[in-house]
A = this chain, B = another copy of it.
Amino acid sequence: MTDETIVPMIEYGQADEAVRAVYDDIMHTRGSDWINNFWKVLANDPKLLKRTWESLKEVMGPGALDPLVKEMIYIAVSATNNCDYCSWSHTASARAKGMTDPQLMELLAVVGMANETNRLANGLKPPVDAAFKPKGPKQ
């Protein structure tokens, strides 16, 4: 147990069977041979570990959106919330899926702009235009 995490990190060698099964599935799904620290802290609660991994695998897997777009959305949320770990890990994941530096810069430009205009709208409170509502006419 390092004194720099709030709970111990559970390494593969120390993990019980339930945790190992999740670790194995993470490595198998990703085609990698290591587990990043996020999962090692979640492993203190094997049910939380399993549920979070299975939800993430389902959400980030094939669907209506491109997997790289989903990683970029993850970066957008993490920068907005200022989650340090998440920005590092999802920027790395997005790059592994082909995100270029110009795409990252442009993504953050949109994130910055959205955070700006969100507050202009919060502070000035324009009414929502009827045209923006389903079936609503323009005003």
Nearest Cβ distance between residue A124 and chain B, in whole angstroms?
4
| Interfacial chain B residues near A133, Cβ < 8 Å | 3-4, 88
| Interfacial chain B residues near A9, Cβ < 8 Å | 126
Bound CA–CA A3/B42 (angstroms): 26
Nearest Cβ distance between residue A8 and chain B, in whole angstroms?
8
**B59 A110 Cβ-Cβ under 8 A:** yes
* Residues of chain A in range 22-44 having any CB-CB distance to chain B below 8 Å: 34, 36-38, 40-42, 44
| Copies of this chain held together in the complex | 6
Q: Assess whether A86 is interfacial by the CB under 8 Å rule.
A: yes
Complex A-B, nearest 10 residue pairs according to Cβ-Cβ distance, in ascending order: A79-B123, A37-B126, A45-B105, A77-B114, A116-B116, A83-B118, A112-B116, A92-B132, A41-B124, A85-B121
18 contacts between A and B (CB under 8 A): A6-B88, A6-B104, A7-B104, A34-B139, A38-B121, A48-B105, A48-B106, A48-B120, A59-B106, A60-B110, A77-B80, A77-B114, A77-B118, A78-B114, A80-B81, A85-B121, A87-B125, A88-B133
